[in-house]
Amino acid sequence: MNLETIRTDFPILSREVYGRPLVYLDNAATTQKPLCVLDAMREEYLNVNANVHRGVHYLSQQATELHEGARDTVRQFLHADKTEEIIFTRGTTESINLVASSFGEAFLKEGDEVIVSEMEHHSNIVPWQLLQARKGIRLRVIPITDDGRLDLEAFRALLSERTRLVSITHVSNVLGTVNPVAEVIALAHEAGVPVLVDAAQSAPHLPLDVQQMDCDFLAFSGHKMYGPTGIGILYGKERWLEQMPPYQGGGEMIDQVTWEKTTFERLPFKFEAGTPDYVATHGLATAIKWLQGLDMDDVMEHEKLLTRYCMEQLQQMEGIRIYGPQAGMRDAVVSFNVEGIHHLDLGTLLDRMGVAVRTGHHCAQPLMQRLGVSGTVRASFALYNSTEEVDCFVEALRRVVRMF
C-alpha cells in the first residue's frame, strides 16, 4: 500500500487549519472522499442527470443503469446472493429504523423481546425504544465486561423463547471492540432468532460476507467508508424482506394505486419510496470499487499498526485511561480520558494544533454511563492516516496536558 499515492487522492488532507497541517483523526464520524468519488458524482450531474426508473428517454435510462449497477456493486461487496436483498436508505440510522418499524410491525407484539448490547450507538437503541412505546416490546441489554467486550455468557442467558430479534454492532464506535458476530449469530439462530448487524464501523475496515456471516440484516453508511453522505444500505435476507410491510409510502414503491387499494412493487423497490439519491448511489459504488482496488489485507495491516502504535504511545502518558480491549482485539478507534482534564478542553486545544478528534458521548450515552464518564476523546483512523500523524497527535496531546 503506497500511502503517499493514496493521500494524493484526498486533497483535503493537505490543507491547513489554524496555520498548521491538518491531522484528521475523526474518521469514525465520517471519512474523507477520494477524488474518483467526487469526480464520478460531478460527472453524473454534469452529463447524465435524470430521474431514474420512470423515464423512457436516454438520460433516464443511463442514470438508471448507474443506479442499479451501484446496487449490484454493493451486492458483490457484501457477497449477498441477490440484488433484491440490497435496499438503498439514507444511512445506517434509517436502515435500522426501517427494520424496527417494518419487522416490528410484522413480527413483534407486546411482551416480545429484542436484544441489543450495552455498547450500541443511539441509532441501535432509540428505534427499539420507539417500538417499545408503540408496541410494548421489551428491550434487553447484553452487558459488557470491564475491558469492553461483550459478555457472551450473559447473552446466552438473555436468549429465551420471548426473544424475537438480536440487533448488535459489529464494531463499537467508542471502544473499537470487534464483536464476535459469527458466534452471536450462531447462538441466536440456534434459538431460532434472527440477527441484525450494525456494520457502520466495520464496513470501511473489515471484509463483510453476509452469506458466510449468515446475518439476517446488515446496515451501513456510505459516508463512513469513503462514499458520499446521505446514502446507506440495508441488506436483508429475501425471506424476511418479503414478509415485511413497506416502510414508507409514495412513488417508486407501488405496483398499482386506486382509491380502493394499493399494491406494492417487488423487492427491493417496495422499501424505496420516492426519488432515490441516485447520484449518491453511484458515488458509493465508486467508493467501493476504489476500496476494492486496494489490497484489503494491507489496509487492515496498516490500520492495525496505526491503532497499536497510537495505543503504545498513549499508554506511556501519565494519568491517561484508554477504554476498550487491547490493541489486537480492536478496530481503528482509540477513546481515552486524561485525569483532571475535561474531554472537551482536550479536543478544543488539540483542534488549535491542527488535530481533529471527536469528544463527547459519541451517541452512546448508555455506554458512557457504564464507563462512568460524561464523554471521552476519540481518535479514529482511516487507511490514509500515517504513523507520522499519530506522532503529531501524541505530541500535541502532550503539549495540551502540560498546559494544565
Residue 253 phi, psi (nearest 5): -100, 5
Q: Give the nearer residue to ligand PLP in terms of CB position, either 73 or 124.
A: 124
Q: Select the span of 43-51, 87-95, 242-250, 258-266 touching ligand PLP (CB under 6 A).
A: 87-95
Return d(Cα 76, Cα 92) in angstroms, integer: 19
Q: Which of 319, 327, 395 is nearest to 355 (CA)?
A: 395
Of residues 127 and 268, the one with the C-beta less far from ligand PLP: 127
The separation between CA 136 and the C-alpha centre of its own chain, rounded to angstroms, equals 28
Q: Which of 137, 135, 141 is nearest to 115 (CA)?
A: 141
Does 221 engage in binding with ligand PLP (CB under 6 A)?
yes
Q: Which is nearer to ligand PLP, 206 or 254 (CB)?
A: 206
Neighbouring C-beta atoms of residue 130, cutoff 10 Å: 14
Whether residue 350 contacts residue 357, with contact meaning beta carbons closer than 8 Å, is answered with yes
**H or E element: which one contains 192?**
none
Quick check: 93 binds ligand PLP (CB under 6 A)? yes
Q: Report the nearest approach of ligand PLP to the CB of residue 172 (Å).
A: 7
Helix axes 35-47, 278-292, angle to 10 degrees: 150
Question: Of 321, 310, 275, 323, nearest to 119 (Cα)?
Answer: 323
Q: Residues in the chain, how many? A: 404
Active site residue 363: yes
> Which DSSP state fits 205?
T
C-alpha cell at 327: 490493541
Rounded Cα gap, residues 254 and 261, in angstroms: 11
CB of 349 to ligand PLP, least distance (A): 24
Minimum distance from residue 47 beta carbon to ligand PLP (Å): 29
Q: Where are the beta strands (DSSP E) in 91-148?
A: 113-117, 138-142
Check residue 91 for interaction with ligand PLP (CB under 6 A). yes
Exposed/middle/buried for residue 365 (C-beta within 10 Å: 0-12, 13-18, 19+)? middle
Size of the site for ligand PLP (CB under 6 A): 13
Site string for ligand PLP, 359-378 (x = CB under 6 A): ----x---------------
In the complex with ligand PLP, the residue whose CB is nearer, 317 or 363, is 363
CB of 164 to ligand PLP, least distance (A): 21
335 lies in the site for ligand PLP, by CB under 6 A: no
- Shortest spacing between CB 199 and ligand PLP, in angstroms: 8
* Pick 102 or 221: Cβ nearer ligand PLP: 221
Closer CB to ligand PLP, residue 123 or residue 163? 123
What is the spatial distance between Cα 93 and Cα 186, in angstroms, rounded to a whole number?
Answer: 25
**Least Cβ distance, residue 69 to ligand PLP (angstroms):** 23
Cell numbers representing residue 48 in the block: 447524465
Q: Applying CB under 6 A, does 123 fall inside the site for ligand PLP?
A: yes
Interacting span for ligand PLP (CB under 6 A) from 14-22, 89-97, 184-192, 296-304:
89-97
Interface with ligand PLP includes 169 (CB under 6 A)? yes
Q: Is 324 an interacting residue with respect to ligand PLP (CB under 6 A)? A: no
Interface with ligand PLP, residue 173, by CB under 6 A: yes
Q: With respect to ligand PLP, which residue has the nearer C-beta, 63 or 115?
A: 115
The window from 118-126, 138-146, 325-333, 352-360 that contacts ligand PLP (CB under 6 A) reads 118-126
Largest CA-CA distance found in the chain, in angstroms, rounded: 72
User: Of residues 36, 310, 363, 392, which has the active-site annotation?
Assistant: 363
DSSP result, 70-85? HHHHHHHHHT-S-GGG
Return the amino acid letter for 134: R
Residues of this chain, 186-215, that bind ligand PLP according to CB under 6 A? 198, 200-201
Active site residues per annotation: 363
Residues at the site binding ligand PLP, with contacts judged by CB under 6 A:
91-93, 121, 123-124, 169, 173, 198, 200-201, 221, 363
